[in-house]
Amino acid sequence: MGRVIDDFALGSFIDKRVSTYSGGQRRRLDLAATFVVRPALLLLDEPTTGLDSQSRLDLWQSIRALPGSGTSVLLTTQHLEEAQALADEVVIIDEGRIVRMDTPDQLRREMSTRKLTVATLEQMSSETVHLVAADLQAEVMHHEGSRFSLSGEILLDAVLGALKAQGIDERAIVEFSLAPPELEEVFLTLTRPKAVQ
Domain 112-179 has CATH 3.30.70.920: yes
Distance, CA of 98 to chain centre? 20
Sorting pLDDT into bands at 50, 70 and 90, what band is 196? very low
Q: Class of 2-76 per CATH?
A: alpha beta
* Per-residue pLDDT tens digits for 121-168: 999 999 999 999 999 999 999 999 999 999 888 988 899 899 999 999
Query: Which of the 8 DSSP states describes residue 29?
Result: H
Angle (deg, nearest 10), helices 126-136 and 156-165:
140
Please report the pLDDT score of residue 195 as a whole number.
47
In angstroms, the Cα distances linking 113 to 69, 93, 122 are: 37, 21, 27
34-45: pLDDT as tens digits: 778 878 998 999
Domain 2-76 and domain 112-179 have a common topology: no
Q: Distance between CA atoms of 56 and 82, rounded to whole angstroms? A: 9
What pLDDT, on a 0 to 100 scale, did the predictor assign at position 194? 60
pLDDT tens sequence across 96-119: 999 999 999 999 988 888 889 999
The domain spans of the chain are 2-76, 112-179
